[in-house]
Structure 1
Amino acid sequence: MNMKGLIQSPCSSSSSPSAFLRPPCLTSASRDSKFPLLLPQAICTSQRIYQCSGVYMEACHNSYLSKHCMVARFSSGWSETHSLFPKQSLKKSLLPSGAQVTSKSQDVSNAPIVGDDKIGVLLLNLGGPETLEDVQPFLFNLFADPDIIRLPRLFRFLQRPLAQFISVLRAPKSREGYASIGGGSPLRRITDAQAEELRNFLWEKNVPADVYVGMRYWHPFTEEAIEQIKRDGITKLVVLPLYPQFSISTSGSSLRLLESIFREDEYLVNMQHTVIPSWYQRKGYIKAMADLIEKELRNFDCLEQVMIFFSAHGVPLAYVEEAGDPYKAEMEECVDLIMEELETRKITNACTLAYQSRVGPVEWLKPYTDETIIELGQKGVKSLLAVPISFVSEHIETLEEIDVEYKELALKSGIKTWGRVPALGCEPTFISDLADAVIESLPYVGAMAVSNLEARQCTYHRGSERAKE
């Protein structure tokens, strides 16, 4: 079969479902312009401040280390103004007051001395209903979030009534899905296990830290985790969303809630903290994903003919095009990085990226997973390996949507052999790398890097870097 008809770069502007081979569309030089660890003020040589969605974004360039960094600082309140970053270069937009941003890996041999501080790590995740009775109230919490359903200002009083209506309407079908995977979501159990493993790795790396789990839409809620953090007397907190790529509707929503909690609590206002808003570029994460893909490919008779099918959770198109959500750009780069890692192992299969789980009448990111599967079948693809790229835990969207609905659709569409890469879960390489990310962030917990006045005197504009890509 001639695969050339299926080739398309993941960064193509076309929204038609199609596959792409290498070479990647993002160069190594372009990735070097991403924001890694925050650098101390003393070696930050140039900065410019931006305001976006109520957040002051300070980009700084350090000529000494040839690195870039970013600090995000909340202004008072939530703003609906557009970002002053180019839409493709908006990095992170919702971080608690005083939060610092870290994302890339570095050598952790010089681990910070903890001293008398009590270190805490807060893992943020979506949450899920644990029983069938939980489904409707879980859905209500989900749709009551203004970052999930965005209503015009004049109609925001309808947010909760609309959420009630939608949750009651969708609950019967959702219950059927959860019943098919055992009667509830395994997300809490898996996230608790990840927290325990992360704690173990941190202690092995000489960082005695407590790890907490805060869910956005079900127990243990973020508010519950914060109360436990206060009771335990944590003095330094690292906030780590369990979403590899940043989106307004995932990490952004959780961090927006966290900001509102911090703003109203004197203990939290004074507690030093930092945020790792996305970490899809980290070598440990990329290696762990490549390991799982390589292992599953070995189950196919002709692994060279297998299409690697990355399926990511979708978001409404307006989030990217109007609100400047970096999710699509980060997802495409993430796929590039994984495929580059596979290339080093002599694995050069064709691959494609599509987006699943869309709801409602509005347009979401394309290509859609279901439409892409049908098209690949029509084009003669016979072997498909599904990779849940935006999920680090098994839950309804992997166990039911991918394993049942999309597998059935693939077989009906002419695909003969189907496989699926498991979510990362507690994979040791992955969890160890998250521990390294936490350790790397500790030196930057606390004080802001520069004042607004100092930032305005600087000239660096990251948009010019992105324009060169």
Structure 2
Amino acid sequence: MEVSAFQPRVSAPKSVGKTGVLIVNLGTPDSPSVPDVRKYLREFLMDGRVIDISYVSRFFLVNGIIAPFRAPKSAKIYKQLWTETGSPLKYYGHIVEKELQQQLGDEYVVKLAMRYQSPSIEAGLNEFQKLGLTDIVVVPFFPQYASASTGSVYQKVMELVKSWDVIPAIRFVNRFLEHPKFIEGFAQIARKYMTTYDYDHFLFSYHGLPESQIRKGDVTKTVCQFGECCNTFHALNQHCYRAQCFETTRLLVQALGIPEGKYTTCFQSRLGSDPWIKPYTDDIIKELPAKGIKSVLAFSPAFVADCLETTIEVGVEYKELFEQAGGKHWQLVESLNDSPIWIEALIDLVKTA
């Protein structure tokens, strides 16, 4: 029996339906009122990946000490941040959601979510489930991976979908500090200041983490030394948040042509008495004027949208600290917010996840 050499061509399977895109930022209180700020702090700080101690200890620490006493102080700061459109972080989030949906087109459904408070991750996922979507891309808005940020988003998403009868294919964006458009986005904003002023120094301030969390992430138990181990970025330290921050600085310095010795990487927003990753931003700032540094261009590249930690902490509080120490000129490089190049970066991240 003669067998034909012809074989029917089998087409690659085509995607059925649309792809859900869940863009997730950290979160913000619903208002700058004390009750809403307290509610936000409780949800945020009760996350076991944020304060990684036993549940009982965390419960009494957060509900008995931090939330009751910190909420009134934080509410005053949030009132400084708040605008007519509300929280900048949520305001820009909704703009990005709209722009990304428009750019991606009808084959995608884009939803904004916050890890804490609203709009919730659960609401976004439930919308995808109602639409019958079985292909979902989750993009945490954290350039550098950390267990307390990106890791927490992963865990929340998986906890919510594990009970679904049809569990979708889920792809996560792990980090995007190396994405050329992320780097160029910050560089574009910085250049508009660098062309009008000759800065003595460039400061790159990232959100801090307890050293204990960095140690837990070192699966080798040998690499992390909180020092020169972050001077290079390689396979063994690529998951270390501190090393990722130093790599982000190196990429920005290269893009902007900043000379060696004219920049510093440091860490802000520490909480409690346990040691956090160093150097501390406030300590660095106090030392700069004594070294003859009178003008600083400050970056906060752990955040893609303006928020309390950028606009107020780096833009206002650190400016005052610098001037009190003898500095003359302090300028914050704003976050990417809703810039066109940030939308372009997100499109790349979604399509290559």
Q: Same fold, TM exceeding 0.5? A: yes
Q: Which amino acid in 1 is paired with 2:46?
A: A
Residue matched to 1:314:
208
Aligned positions of 1:247-262 closer than 5 A: 247-262=146-161
Partner of 1:423: 335
Amino acid at match of 2:23: L
1:167-182 aligned at under 5 Å gives the runs: 167-182=67-82
- Among 305, 313, 322, the residue aligned to 1:401: 313
Out of 246, 254, 259, the position equivalent to 1:348 is 259
Contact 2:23 2:113 in 1 (8 A): yes
Measure the CA separation in 1 of the matches of 2:209 and 2:22: 25
Q: Which residue of 1 aligns with 2:244?
A: 330
* Distance in 1 separating the partners of 2:170 and 2:216: 30
How many residue pairs are counted as aligned between the two chains?
316
* Alpha-carbon distance between aligned partners in 2 of 1:113 and 1:177, rounded to the nearest angstrom: 53
- Residue 197 (structure 2) pairs with residue 295 (structure 1): no
Determine whether 1:138 maps to 2:40. yes
Runs of 5+ consecutive residues of structure 2 not aligned to the other structure: 1-11, 219-238
**Residue 322 (structure 2) aligned to one of 386, 410, 419:** 410
Gap change, CA 1:266 and 1:258, over 3 Å in 2: same
Q: Secondary structure at the match of 1:400?
A: helix
Q: Matches of 1:416 and 1:137 in 2, distance apart?
A: 39
Larger relative contact order, structure 1 or 2 (CA cutoff 8 Å, min sep 6) = 1
- Alpha-carbon contact 2:189-2:334 (below 8 Å) kept: yes
CA distance in structure 2 between the aligned counterparts of 1:316 and 1:113, rounded to whole angstroms = 46
Closer, same or farther: CA 356–114 of 1 in aligned 2, 3 Å: farther
Q: CA offset at residue 115 of structure 1?
A: 4.6
* 1:20-419 pair list within 5 angstroms: 115-131=15-31, 132=33, 133-151=35-53, 155-165=54-64, 166-182=66-82, 185-203=87-105, 208-267=107-166, 269=167, 271-300=168-197, 303=198, 305-324=199-218, 326-343=240-257, 347-348=258-259, 350-419=262-331
The separation in 2 between residues aligned to 1:178 and 1:113, in whole angstroms, is 50
- Distance in 1 between residues matched to 2:13 and 2:347, nearest whole Å: 15
In structure 1, how many angstroms separate the alpha carbons of the residues matched to 2:25 and 2:309?
14
Provide the residue aligned with 2:7 in structure 1.
none
Measure the CA separation in 1 of the matches of 2:148 and 2:289: 31
The TM-score normalised by the length of structure 2 is 0.85
Determine the C-alpha separation between the residues in 2 that align with 1:414 and 1:314. Answer: 25
Contact 1:245 1:279 in 2 (8 A): yes
What letter is aligned with 1:358?
Answer: R
Question: What SS is found at the alignment partner of 1:370?
Answer: helix
Distance 1:310 1:113 in 2: 46
- Quick check: 1:380–1:414 contact (8 Å CA) kept in 2? no
Runs of 4+ in 1 over 4 A off after TM superposition: 112-115
CA distance, structure 1, for counterparts of residue 73 and residue 316 of structure 2? 15
Q: CA deviation at 1:362?
A: 0.8
Aligned residue number for residue 40 of structure 1: none
The 1-side partners of 2:193 and 2:14 are apart by 40
Deviation at 1:323, TM superposition (A): 3.0
Shift in Å, 1:290: 1.2
Amino acid across the alignment from 2:287: E
What is the rounded CA distance, in whole Å, between the counterparts of 2:170 and 2:81 in structure 1?
37
Cα RMSD for the two superposed structures:
1.8
Instruction: Give the deviation of 1:396 after TM superposition.
Output: 0.9
Amino acid at match of 1:278: R
Shift of residue 156 of structure 1? 2.3
Matched residue of 2:116: which SS? coil
Q: Partners of 2:160 and 2:82 in 1: how far apart?
A: 34
Inter-CA distance 127–378: structure 2 relative to 1 (3 Å threshold)? same
CA deviation profile, 1:185-216 (whole Å, cap 9, x unmatched): 3211111111112222222xxx7311112211
String of CA shifts for 1:213-254, please: whole Å, max 9, x gaps.
221111111111111111222221111100011001111111
Contact 2:217 2:240 in 1 (8 A): no
* AA in 2 matched with 1:310: F
Distance apart, 1:390 and its partner CA: 0.4
- 1:417-446 deviation per Cα after TM superposition (whole angstroms, max 9, x unaligned): 1111110011111211210121123xxxxx
Give, in whole Å, the separation in 2 of the partners of 1:266 and 1:338: 45
Question: TM (normalized to structure 1)?
Answer: 0.65
Distance 1:326 1:116 in 2: 38
- Go from structure 1 to structure 2 and tell me whether the alpha carbon gap of 1:404 and 1:116 turns closer, same or farther (over 3 Å shift): same
Distance 1:146 1:115, change over 3 A: closer
Secondary structure of the residue that 1:322 maps to in structure 2? helix
SS at 1:295's partner residue? helix
| Identical amino acids, percent of aligned pairs | 31
